[in-house]
A = this chain, B = another copy of it.
Amino acid sequence: MVDKTSGVPAFRQVAADLRGRIVSGEYAPGDRLPSERELVEHYHVSRPTIRDAVNLLRSEGVVVAEHGKGVFVRPPNTIHRLARSRLSRAARAENKGAFLADAAAKGFTPSSSVKVRFEAADERVAEYLRIEPGAEVTVRDRVMRANGLVVQLAVSRLPRELTRGTPSEEVDTGSGGVYARLEEAGHVIGHYAEHVGARMPTPEETSALQLGQGTPVITVTRVAYRDDGTPLEMNDMVLPADRYELSYEWAAE
């Protein structure tokens, strides 16, 4: 079953064979793969070699292992689509944050917890908000859950001057959220920018978002600007890549 003369490592050959059986449908999503011992017999290689092969598939996000139960073909996840329309004033007027509106549409029970703190801007934050490094910023740390499961982390930062003495420094910002408070204070939002990337999660993110091995995270840094171009707020979001897709639309110029 394994060609030792090909120069290709045995564990890669085993992984390739299993991957092929998965994409061909021989093992369907949710199916259990043969146990490691069965694979040892089938391919005539040692157990560590089988484990190397399975670990490769795990790091690719193709399968997930469950202790005591077996190794399963990763079932496809329901994808949440986040569109930029989630930020319209119309939505805010209905007292719905982006997350709550999504929950209502998708039919899950949302919850979230917020921590507020103040810190000095590091270089990256200072650049995005166009303030001096070291200047004080208000930080709103937010964990969003759907049906109790953590699905999104968000860290929002604003120059402290914009929030001093306003509900934006409280845990509960009131109807419409921070953006509504900003506009009440005369800071009308003119446009948004989002910068999207992806990377592997830190160990903290892995446990917080309960990510399976081989699942990257999508990072979104959104910056809200006033009419005159002054940055008002930046928001660093971390989303599990297997559960989210972002959509953007714009007219051709």
A-to-B contact residues, CB < 8 Å:
16, 19, 48, 55, 59-61, 79, 81, 84-85, 87-90, 188-203, 213-218, 224, 241-242, 244-253
Of chain B, the residue at the smallest CB distance from A12 is B203
Contact of A247 among B194, B242, B251 (CB under 8 A): B194
Tell me the bound Cα distance from A84 to B253 in angstroms: 10
Known A214-B200, A218-B196; contact A190-B252, beta-carbon cutoff 8 A: yes
Of chain B, the residue at the smallest CB distance from A23 is B202
Number of copies: 2
* Chain B residues with CB under 8 A of A16: 203
Are A248 and B251 neighbours in the complex by a CB distance under 8 Å?
Answer: no
Smallest CB–CB gap between A195 and chain B, Å?
5
Are B195 and A247 neighbours in the complex by a CB distance under 8 Å?
Answer: yes
* Chain B residues with CB under 8 A of A213: 59
Of chain B, the residue at the smallest CB distance from A246 is B196
Of chain B, the residue at the smallest CB distance from A226 is B252
Contact of A253 among B89, B203, B218 (CB under 8 A): B89
